[in-house]
Amino acid sequence: MPYTNAVIQETMRITPLFPAGVPHVTSEDYNLGGYSIAKGTVVVSMTVAIHNDPDIWADPQVFLPERFLTADGSRNINHEAFFPFGVGKRACPGKHLAKHNLFIFVSSIFQRFSLSVGNSSGKVNLNPKQISSTLAPTPQELVFTPRSIPD
Ligand code: HEM
């Protein structure tokens, strides 16, 4: 279960659903790390840039679920620089519902099916496509082979 969660987290790290978060407007003048931000400025948290910042993540373009696991693999790790659901007061209120559903969805598929690539190249296209302000997967040709589940 921790590994499944780590795979979901790593997927959301590399390609967050909202690559630039959701825009906000400052309600007062603010100084952030020496930068003056005037009241009324539109600010975006570039989630995809922070999630792929090499100063924070080693080999950020490598898909490595182990980043989200303790050394013995028994527990998941939280990273401060990982925020696919936003941060602060306006962070996603559906976060826990979404996380639970993602876990059930992903684990149900892998419990019941072995997946393989259904085209001759043997490769899947992991580059997402942008739809408005969200990233979505590109269509894939996959074969779902039912697994025998013990009674
Ligand atoms: C994988 C699934 C989801 C992702 C990645 C996601 C991500 C986000 C992000 C990044 C924001 C903007 C946070 C910010 O402004 O800083 C947001 C806002 C929001 N999300 Fe989600 N979300 C997901 C699922 C859901 C679900 C299942 C619900 C409701 C059942 C939901 C309801 C909302 C609402 C109402 C807001 C606006 C909150 C506000 O502006 O105060 N989201 N979400």
Q: Determine the Cα–Cα distance for residues 118 and 41; give it in Å rounded to an integer.
A: 48
Q: Which domain holds residue 84?
A: 2-113
Identify the pLDDT of residue 68: 98
What SS3 state is found at 115? Answer: strand
Domains in the chain, number: 1
Amino acid type, 29: D
Q: Which two tokens stand for residue 112?
A: 């019941």
Q: What is the mean pLDDT of the chain?
A: 93
- The H or E element that residue 18 is part of is none
**Beta carbon of 19 within 6 Å of any ligand 1 atom:** no
* Residue 17, in any domain of the structure: yes
**Is the pLDDT at 151 greater than 80, yes or no?**
no
Q: Determine the Cα–Cα distance for residues 79 and 56; give it in Å rounded to an integer.
A: 10
Q: Give the residue whose CA is nearest to atom 11 of ligand 1.
A: 92
Q: Rounded to two decimals, what is the model's pTM? A: 0.90
**Beta carbon of 43 within 6 Å of any ligand 1 atom:** no
* Residue 126, in any domain of the structure: no
* Residue 78, in any domain of the structure: yes
**Beta carbon of 22 within 6 Å of any ligand 1 atom:** yes
Identify the pLDDT of residue 130: 87
**Beta carbon of 21 within 6 Å of any ligand 1 atom:** yes
Q: Determine the Cα–Cα distance for residues 17 and 47; give it in Å rounded to an integer.
A: 9
Nearest in space to 7 (alpha carbons), one of 141, 106, 82, 143:
106
**Is the pLDDT at 116 greater than 90, yes or no?**
yes
Residue 66 Cα, ligand 1 centroid: separation in angstroms? 26
pLDDT (mean) for 47-69: 96
* Residue 77, in any domain of the structure: yes
* Residue 140, in any domain of the structure: no
**Beta carbon of 104 within 6 Å of any ligand 1 atom:** no
* Residue 14, in any domain of the structure: yes
* Residue 92, in any domain of the structure: yes
**Beta carbon of 82 within 6 Å of any ligand 1 atom:** no
Question: How many CA within 13 A on the CB side of residue 62?
Answer: 7
Identify the pLDDT of residue 124: 86
**Beta carbon of 94 within 6 Å of any ligand 1 atom:** yes
Alpha-helix runs per DSSP H in the chain: 2-14, 47-51, 95-112
CA 46 to chain centre: 13
* Residue 149, in any domain of the structure: no
Q: Give the residue whose CA is nearest to atom 1 of ligand 1.
A: 98
Q: What is the pLDDT of residues 65-105, one digit of tens each?
A: 999 999 999 999 999 999 999 988 899 999 999 999 999 99
